[in-house]
Amino acid sequence: MLEKDIEKILVSEKQIEEICVRLGKQITEDYQGKDPLIIGLLKGCMPFMAQLIKNIDLYCEIELMGVSSYHGGISSSSDVKITKDLDASVSHRHVLIAEDIVDTGKTLDVITKLLLHRGAASVEVVTLLDKPEGRIVPFTPKYVGTVIPKAFVVGYGLDYDERYRNLPYVGILKAEVYKK
Ligand code: IMP
């Protein structure tokens, strides 16, 4: 039923599983002895973070932070709003932020600086998708699942107007859906 709104599948469920195995292995190697604090940015991180952490073979903790930069449309607004703050301290912790997509780079630029300001020992980003053509603020995530072209995508946590997060793949939304 949701599939009728999708123009094209960009990253399949199987490809996402493979991405999570590769990224999980790399993170496991890089964070040996560091007990990372993995912070997911709600709500888009949910399926990706859940799949990724199963592939990280380390002592680690997870935290969630609510961040919003879209307000119902298909382009990010300039203000990044924290809708739910962390429960744990990041002081002296090696933080790994788990995100669904990096587009303009504004969200991660703001959140990375905030967590460093709060005393994190290091802050890196793992993102399922990277849309480098959308960049407004220079930002390079350390771990990238896959690079995608400048299109509005939904699924696997990504929404349009809070819908489609439950699609098991990432797809391009038909323009007629958001032009309605
Ligand atoms: P940025 O601050 O522009 O890098 O955007 C980060 C946030 O914008 C992501 O966490 C998503 O919630 C949202 N976003 C960016 N591109 C897309 C997209 O193609 N589809 C759905 N949400 C997106």
Is 100 known to be catalytic?
A: no
User: Which atom of ligand 1 sits closest to the CA of residue 103?
Assistant: 4
How many angstroms is it from 40 CA to the middle of ligand 1? 14
pLDDT value of position 75: 64
Give me the catalytic one of 100, 103, 130, 159.
Answer: 103
pLDDT value of position 72: 54
The stretch 119-123 carries a mean pLDDT of 98
Mind listing the pLDDT tens digit for each residue in 142-169?
A: 999 999 999 999 999 999 999 999 999 9
How would you class 18 by CB atoms within 10 Å of its CB: exposed for 0-12, middle for 13-18, buried for 19 or more?
middle
User: Which atom of ligand 1 sits closest to the CA of residue 104?
Assistant: 3
pLDDT value of position 74: 63
The model's pTM is 0.94
Per DSSP, which regions of the chain are E strands? 6-11, 37-42, 61-68, 81-84, 94-102, 122-130, 143-147, 153-154, 170-173
- Establish whether residue 103 lines the binding site of ligand 1, counting it when its CB lies within 6 angstroms of any ligand atom: yes
Confidence band of 79 (pLDDT split at 50, 70, 90): confident
Confidence band of 179 (pLDDT split at 50, 70, 90): confident
